[in-house]
Structure 1
């Protein structure tokens, strides 16, 4: 299909809940995604290549920095940033993830936790998308248990020496600015450092053979005696809890991403079923087709409201960690159902990348897992609901002289 389908998913008039500025952002990004991204992205996804030629065009929309103010950043509201995320995801999950990692992880970390010198040096070029950012927290052995960092930072004269590995780091193969989280060997606390592209001892390798977000250049990072100057350390990071200042916003954006993917798949299915005929009538006329469309549409309305309410609670200072986890878990679960229904509705074409659905189906699998798996996020919500933690290290047990165990 040559043109992207029209938007038919907003049956509860959610645009009415947006400010004029937020609506303007939404439609500006929608037009860009449909005009510039849609015609080329299926081929890029098939080849697992990032469309670098789109970055200068994306930069003209003035979206860099998202919610940050000053230093050339766009200073968007939470909902404006969310509209950017969903409208990109509606057409392509990879482009949405690319900008979210750049804006709501890397730039936000520097903006909230960096020094004034770091902000002035890095943020203007990053806001203009001249420099792309990546964010290195996850490690090969530590995903959900992100606080158990094994990457180390050793203080030496004039700076720090970093050693360790990171995995699944989006944008890292070409990013100019990478924020690396590492454990300070002197204090045993987590610190963060800015590592620039080309730094000796810092190497990246692309993770191949993904079935999701194939355009995102996820990388393994290896640091072998990688030296960074004292000025590279972010002064606002003194323990792992400081990551929460960044993740509070990034988790909102990740909770919105399934909404965008679901909107795109619904819009594609709605048009497809009206155009394709079987047994002498449009597929849209069949009862089973309409039931599946209605279920997809209902999911989208609920997902949108969850994201909107979460964003408003953040603005009011009332959002909790568990709320963000619940929204992310529930939206990805419902989004998965939308993907599956869309794949069914398109029959054989549901597994062809050109029809969007197969691509989005795969992309949803990554979003279901990253920024906290469904299970971990559900248990975070469950912990707040019950007051009991379901995931924690079991108590150590010591051997007694009689072969029995006692709690240590």
Structure 2
């Protein structure tokens, strides 16, 4: 049978004699023949995102480099001017540098200060995952979204890793990617505004040392924290390279982020490594790359394809975000933590964007990074097991045959085996 549109393939499933063969649709990633954007074009886009960040910073926009570059990338993608993702080297570099930045904030003093609230932090992490699963169950009950796809789309944290394992868990890769990055985009947009509003409403909650605001400073230097810039830059390069290599060899979740973070954490705890955390222009460029990487994912093609699913997905995302804000309020009341810090620590996903917001809003970056990292590890380690465990049970309770796909067409050929699209 001839193929249909680009992202779909139609096969024939064996059927009893005398009946027409039943089509089974197999979901594929779209294979579009489109030219890759040149390195020069991406350099201009990154420079434009940085210039937009400078303008936004001048007007007092919270997390200016992140938000402005996110909007820049989204506009370019929706207008069809950019049809490619951020180049892989830039994406890898931004993840590794964000990991090194996160690890640099987890100082011995910060970990000691977070120790008294370890039990509430664990409870909030478990409650956030439980809330996401409950909302995913409601989304799957509507019948438009598969059970595996609903779980993988709603769990907070580790968007890239979750999308990577979607195919293995019998989920719709494009739907999971769309849901994950839509949530990241919403969080990246809403968190800076909410944090700015809360900080303005309660000025006393600010004042955490966050290594400066969102501006680039008075000049191009410094690029890293510490007096010796060359030594600091060499140390930063060594940490990112060694961390990326170790993360891949040890097969940790999101190795390009977690590997450098763990190596930077060890270097920070040792107390003998010179200052290496990105600051000033270098940190702003990292946030521009993070924003562009999120923004360019929202193409017209993706939005048109998912338009019928957009209302229920947005409602479920709003429920998760409001629920996490409620958990932040409880956590703040129990531990005495400023609500701004608790809100950023429990915001569902977008760890890079949340860290950028924490830095720009002078929040307790160590606390935010600790909570977000803990949840990231738990989610990435537990999600495959949760999907395999819950999807068949949800299918049985909903009266739908099959486990993972939910909403996929299920065909029973004469041999009795089930096939899904």
TM-score by length of 2: 0.27
Structure number with the higher helix fraction is 2
Structure number having the greater strand percentage? 1
